[in-house]
Amino acid sequence: MKQNIWLRLLSFSKNYRKNLVGMLVLIFMVGVIEGSLPFLSGWIIDNVIETGNLNMLKKVSVIYLLFVTSNILTVYWFIYHAGKVETGMAYEIRKKGFLKLQRLSLSFFDKNSAGKTLSRLTSDVGRVCGTIAWGMIDYSWGIVVMVTMTILMFIRSWQLALITLAVMPLLFGGGFLFQKIIIGKYRAVRKINGIITGAYNEGIMGARTVKTLSQEDRSISEFGLKSLEMRNKAIKAGIIGGIFFPYVGIMASIGTALALYSGGLAVTNSVITYGMFASFIFTSMQFFYPVFEMSRTFANLQYAKAAGERILKLLDTEEEIIDSKDNDEVHKVNGEIEFKNVSFSYVEGEQVLKNFSLKIEKGQSVALVGETGSGKSTIVNLACRFYEPTQGQILIDGKDYREIKQKDLHSSLGYVLQTPYLFNDTIMENVRFGRLDATEDEIIAACKEINAHDFIMDLEFGYKTKAGESGKLLSTGQKQLISMARAVLADPSIFVLDEATSSVDAESEVAIQAATNRLLEGRTSFIIAHRLSTVVHADRILVISKGEILEQGSHSELIALNGHYHKLYTNQFFEEKEAELLKEKK
C-alpha cells in the first residue's frame, strides 16, 4: 500500500505501453524543437538578415515548412497517444474497480453509500487519468523545453545564460510555493461549495416541511449566511490566486530585461552577434511558459493524488467472502440447511446472533417473525452467504457452505426483496435476470404462472415496458410480482422471501399471495413474514427476538401456546389487515 501512488496508478496503463512510449518520445521531440526555435530564429538573423543573402532565405523557408509540417504531425500524434493512455487507463481502472465491487461482500455495501462508491469509479477515475496523462505531458514538455533552452544558451554564451536565468529560481520557487498556499484556499472554497449544494438539497427536499412550519424566512436567512461565507472564501482565494499570473509576468519580464541589457551591451561591444542577442531575448520570453504550466498542473496533481488514494483504497478493500480455491467440482444444492451454533455480529462487540442452531429439511418452509432488529434479516443474510458466521458453521446438504462455491449456492437461490429491485430495463429483461438463457416463451410462461401476465399485457408496451427508476407506472405490488416471476424462472431449490411491510393494492395482493404459495411448493424456503396468510401456510414458524428463537412450531401450535406469537399476531398482523382493508375500498 505504501508503494508510490503514481506508479501504482500508472501500472494500469500497461496495456497501452506503446502509446505511453510514443507519447513521451513525441513530446520529447516537440520540446526539443520548441526549445531550439529561438536559436533557429537567431541563426536566421545572423545568416540571412545580417548577410543579406536571399538565396539562404529560400532554403530557410523550406526548412521552416518542414519544421511546421513535423510540428503538425508530432502535435497530432502526441495528443492522440496521450488520449489513448488516458482513456485506456480509465477503462482498465474502471474495469478492475467494477470487478472488485462484484466480489465484495454485502458488508461493504452496507458501510459505503452508493453515491460515494459511484464517484470513485466515475469522477475520481476521470480526474486521475486525465491528470496523469496530461500532467505527464506538461511536465515532460516543460522539462525538455527548459533543458534544451538552457543547454543551447550555455553553449552560445554561458555568461549571458547565467544572467538571463538569474530570476528562474525565484520564478520556480515562488510559483510552486504559491500553488501550495492556494491549494488550501481552494480546498476551503470547495468545502463550502459542498455545503451550499447540501443546503440546496435540504432546501428543496425539505421545502414542503418548511412551508408547513412557515419557516421560509428562516430557511432563506440561514442560506444567506452560507452563501455569504462562500462569497468571502471565494474572494479570498480569488485574490490570492490573482497574484500568481502577475508574479510570473514580472519575473519573466525581469529576465527579459536582464537579457536585453547584458545582451545589448555584448552586441554593442561586438562580443556576440545580433542573431544570438535575439535568440536570448526570445528564450527569456518563452522560458516562463513551461514554468507557468508546470506550477498550475502542480495543484491539479494534488487533487488527483487524493482521488487516486481513494480509488486504490477501493481496489485494496479486502474481500471477506472468498471461495476456497482448490474446489472445482460443481455442487448441485439440494436444499437442506443447518445452522450449527452460529454467532454473528456486524460490528465487533454487538452480537446479533448468539449460538444459534436450526435445522431445516429439504422442502420445508420456515417463516421468521419478530420485531425489527430481532435478527430475522441476519439469519437470511447468513443463509444466503451474504455474510459468513463469526463463529459456528452453516451446513448445506450436510457440507460446510464455505466449501461450496458462491456461484453454485447463489445459482440455486431465489430471492425476493422487501422492496423489489428492478433494473432500468424492460420487464422482459428484468424477469430474464432470473435465468439468462430463458426464451421469451419461458418468461411469459413464468409470468402467467403467477398471474402477472394480464397486468403486464395491459401496460402500453406490454413486456417491453420499462421498469426500474423511470418505470413510475408500476405499483409496488406489480414490481413485487415481476421480481417473483424472476424467482419462478430461476427455479431455485432454496427460496428466500422478504415480505413487504407496506400493503399493496388489492388486486396485486391476491396475485402475490398465490405466487408466494406457488414458490413455496417443494422448496426449502425462508420467509421474513409480515402477512398472516403466509405465516399460516408455513411449515414452521420461528419467533425471533434478540437473536434467539423464542417459540417455534406451526401456527396452531403457537397460537395455542398463547405466548409471544399470539401477542405479535394480534398486535401486528391484525392491524395490518385493518389498514389493508381500508385501502382496498376504492
Partner 1 sequence: MKRFKLLFSFLKGSAGIYTLAIVLCLISVWISLFVPLVVRVVIDSVIGKEDFTNTGLLGYIFSFRTGNIKKDIFTFSFLGVAFILVSSLMEFLYTALITVATQDAGQKMKNRMYEHIQRLDYEYHAKAEAGDLIQRCTTDIENSMIFLSEHFINILRTAFIMFVTISMMLSLSIPMSVISMSLVPFIFVYSFYFFSRAQKLFEAQEEVEARLSSVIQENLTGVRVVKAFARQEYEIKKFDEVNSLNQKKVMKIIGAMSQFWSASNGLSFLQIGVVLGVGSYFVVKGVFGVGMVIAFFTYVERIMWPVKQLGRLLAESGKTAVSLKRLTEVLVNEQEDLNDTDFKPEINGDIEFIGVSFSYPNGTHVLKNISFKIKKGESAALIGPTGAGKTTLIHLLHRLYDDYTGTILLDGIDIKKINKRHLRENLGLILQEPFLFNKSVKENIRYAKKESLDEEVFNAAKIASVDKSIKDFEEGYDTTVGEGGVTLSGGQKQRLAIARTLILENPIVIFDDSLSAVDTETDRIIRKNLKEGKVNPTSIIISHRVSTVRDADRILVLEEGRLTANGTHNEIKDKDNLYRRILDIQSEIEREFHTTFA
Distance (Å, rounded) from C-alpha 289 to C-alpha 171?
A: 11
- CA trace torsion 135, 138, 142, 144 (10° rounding): 80
Q: Which of 107, 150, 411, 475 binds partner 1 (CB under 8 A)?
A: 411
Coil, strand or helix at 465: coil
Phi, psi of 492 (to 5 degrees): -80, 160
Which of 10, 285, 358, 549 contacts partner 1 by CB under 8 A? 285
Enumerate residues 191-230 that contact partner 1 by CB under 8 A.
196-216, 218-220, 223-224, 227-228, 230
Q: Which H or E element spans position 357?
A: strand 350-360
Whether 188 and 237 have beta carbons less than 8 Å apart is answered as: yes
Work out whether 52 is an interface residue with partner 1 (CB under 8 A): yes
Query: Binding residue for partner 1 (CB under 8 A) from 354, 362, 410, 546?
Result: 410
The Cα 99–Cα 233 span in angstroms is: 41
Residue 259 CB, shortest distance to partner 1, in Å, is 8
Residues 72-131 close enough to bind partner 1 by CB under 8 A = 72-73, 75-77, 79-80, 82-84, 86-88, 90-91, 94-95, 98-99, 101-103, 106, 109, 114, 117-118, 121-122
State the pairing for strand pair 548-553/540-545.
antiparallel
Q: How far is the CB of 182 from partner 1 (least distance, A)?
A: 13
Q: Counting contacts by CB under 8 A, is residue 463 touching partner 1?
A: no
The nearest distance, CB 252 to partner 1, in angstroms, is: 8
Q: Under a CB-based contact definition with an 8 Å cutoff, are residues 474 and 425 in contact?
A: no
Which residues in the 390-409 window bind partner 1 by CB under 8 A? Answer: 406-407, 409
Distance separating alpha carbons of residues 586 and 583, to the nearest angstrom: 7
H helical segments located in 337-439: 376-383, 406-411, 427-432
Kindly state the smallest distance separating residue 229's Cβ from partner 1, in Å: 10
Instruction: Report d(CA 443, CA 500) in Å as an integer.
Output: 24
The DSSP H or E segment spanning 197 is helix 168-205
43 binds partner 1 (CB under 8 A): no
**Count of CA atoms in the C-beta half-sphere (13 A) of 61:** 6
For partner 1, the closer of residues 355 and 435 by Cβ is 435
Compare residues 2 and 469 and give the one whose CB is closer to partner 1. 469
402: phi then psi, degrees, rounded to nearest 5: -70, -15
- At 71 the three-state DSSP class reads helix
CB of 2 to partner 1, least distance (A): 29
- Of the residues 5, 10, 32, 60, which one makes contact with partner 1 according to CB under 8 A: 60
Strands 524-528 and 399-400: unpaired
Among 281, 474, 484, 485, contact with partner 1 (rule: CB under 8 A): 281
Tell me whether residue 315 or residue 559 sits nearer to partner 1 (CB atom). Answer: 559
Work out how close the CB of 341 gets to partner 1 at its nearest, in angstroms, rounded to a whole number: 25
Show contacts with partner 1 in window 546-565 (CB under 8 A).
555-556, 559-560
Instruction: Report the residue from 65, 155, 330, 561 that binds partner 1 according to the rule CB under 8 A.
Output: 65
Q: Could you give the CA distance from residue 42 to residue 561 in angstroms, rounded to a whole number?
A: 105
- Mind spelling out the 3-state secondary structure of 115-157? HHHHHHHHHHHHHHHHHHHHHHHHHHHHHHHHHHHHHHHHHHC
Tell whether residue 270 is a contact of partner 1 (CB under 8 A).
no
User: Would you count residue 154 as binding partner 1 (CB under 8 A)?
Assistant: no
Residue 326: CB atoms within 10 A of its CB come to: 6
Say whether residue 433 binds partner 1 (CB under 8 A).
Answer: yes
Closer Cβ to partner 1, 288 or 455, answer by number = 288
Residues 295-334: x where in contact with partner 1 by CB under 8 A, - otherwise, as a string: ----------------------------------------
